[in-house]
Amino acid sequence: MSASPRPGLTVLTTLRLGLFQACLGCLAVVFAGMLNRIMISELAFPGLLVGGALAFEQFVAPARVLFGQVSDRHPLAGRRRVPYVLLGAFLFCVLAVVAVPLIFHVGALLPNGDQPRLGLAIAALCGLFALYGLSISLASTPYLALVIDRTSEAERPRAVGLIWCMLTVGIVVGAIAISISLRSLDGVSDPAVLQPVLMRFMTTLAGIVFSLTVFATWGMEPRREPLPSEGSDWHREDAVTLRQSWALITSSRQVLIFFGFLILFTLGLFLQDPILESYGAQVFGMPIAATAQLNAFWGIGTLVGLLVAGLWIVPRLGKLPTARLGCRLIAGSLLLLLLSGLSGSVPVLQFVMLLFGLAAGVGTNSALCLMLDLTLPQAAGAFVGVWGLAQALSRALGKVLGGGLFDLGRSLPLGPGPYPAFALVLGVELTIALAALLLLERVNVHRFRQDTGRSLERVMALEMG
């Protein structure tokens, strides 16, 4: 049986489906922003410990390939995508709540270096972030495959623009929610005061996130009853096995080139994640609520960049030229972010974050469109898993490198005050963004399709033989 025609997505349906992305954006602000800042600035965690623990969320990224393949071939309740999204969302909401008391437990053990309890607590924290990352992968990989299932190549720039706009809306809403809900904690560093307030906030947020995920995905994938001969493990006739998927993925040099580009591109966007709010706190003297708002400025800029790229720039320039433009804008924004610390002006920092977000939106829209175009429908889940693996590995590497470079900067005689350590991180990030631009010049979509098309015919013929 051949794959059914794509039903397409209206604007309203796309926005509803994008609510799941909004939820992920909101949680990203909480984990990469608020909890990160609490651990470093209020609980005095070493930067490398924070970056390393958070990186475990991404170290489990190879599971994305498996989850994508599983959703391709093993439906639940007659559906290949939505049940996995809901299961993953339930798990990461529960783990988000559990993270709060565990973080404070580690913080209580740190001052005395109580071994082996401290070591066990740190291991538990890393394990929790790893499970959280597995849950995110379980939900987000089938979700992206669902977007491919529901859109044609011509529709994807608009769909990607709208869905990732919702991701950015979630980042902005999350930042505003943190700012409003935790305003009473400005200047507070007592764990006995911080923990119960953060626990209430996280519990409420987790309930809202799961409810919105159910609403976003309900009815998005029609149920298909298996034929009697297919049994309980039916799958599309044109779907490929895990072994075939791996043969396809490794058959084209373009896959490796684009994989490398995604790693560098994502590092160029997020290397500052572990230290951004601490940058605002230590260099600009901003309180918790104000540093959380930096994500709102970044998010608003990204929202505008995604819309402008999806509705105007990409249709006129094309995806590759727009991706090149985005990489150049990101590099320029990072240079401004680096220089803004010399002024110590909060309005300057906020304006630069707005520009950085705009550059990120332009680059992200075009990069995501390229990512979805460099995907075969027969192995959509597997290819999305590979692209997600590249992004997740770079986010993990970014957390470790960001925290590690910050610690290195603090230990080296780079100059007085906190600024030089942050400047080291931002300088390295700028260099990586320029490297991503160079690698992008070697991406060729036409050659990718030729290579993988021939490889698909070859691996299917070998399987039949």
Within 8 A by CB and 6+ apart from 312, the residues are: none
- Residue 377: the pLDDT is 61
Residue labelled with tokens 């089938």: 142
Residue 7, pLDDT score: 57
pLDDT in tens, 304-350: 888 888 778 888 888 889 999 999 999 999 999 999 999 989 999 99
pLDDT at 132: 93
What residue has token string 């690698």? 439
What pLDDT was estimated at residue 402? 87
pLDDT for position 451: 67
- Which of 436, 299, 279 lies closest to 354 in space, CA to CA? 299
Note whether residue 438 is domain-resident.
yes
- SS3 sequence of 70-96: HHHHCCECCECCHHHHHHHHHHHHHHH
* pLDDT at position 290: 82
Q: Residue 76: which CATH number? A: 1.20.1250.20
- 227 found inside a domain: no
Reading phi first (left if > 0) and then psi (alpha if -120 to 50, else beta), residue 190 is in beta
For the chain, the domain total comes to: 1
Q: What is the pLDDT of residue 5?
A: 42
Q: Rounded to whole angstroms, how far apart are CA atoms 189 and 92?
A: 27
Question: What is the predicted pLDDT for the residue at 429?
Answer: 95
Tell me which DSSP letter residue 112 carries.
T
At CA 380, angle to CA 29 and CA 77, rounded to 5?
Answer: 85
- Residue 1 belongs to a domain: no
Q: Which portions of the chain are predicted below pLDDT 50?
A: 1-5, 227-239, 462-465
Amino acid (1-letter code) at residue 240? V
pLDDT given for residue 378 in this prediction: 60
d(CA 95, CA 102): 10
Find where tokens 């990069």 sit: 367
Distance of CA 246 to the CA centre of its chain: 23
Task: Supply the range of the domain harboring residue 394.
Answer: 11-221+239-464
Tokens representing 110 are: 């740190």
Longest CA–CA span in the chain (Å) reads 74
The reply to whether 149 falls in a domain is yes
Residue 230 inside a domain? The answer is: no
On whether residue 314 sits in a domain, the answer given is yes
Q: Residue 2 falls within a domain, yes or no?
A: no
Look at residue 229 and tell me if it is in a domain.
no
What's the CA gap between 12 and 264, in Å, rounded? 34
Query: Rounded distance, CA 422 to CA 285, Å?
Result: 14
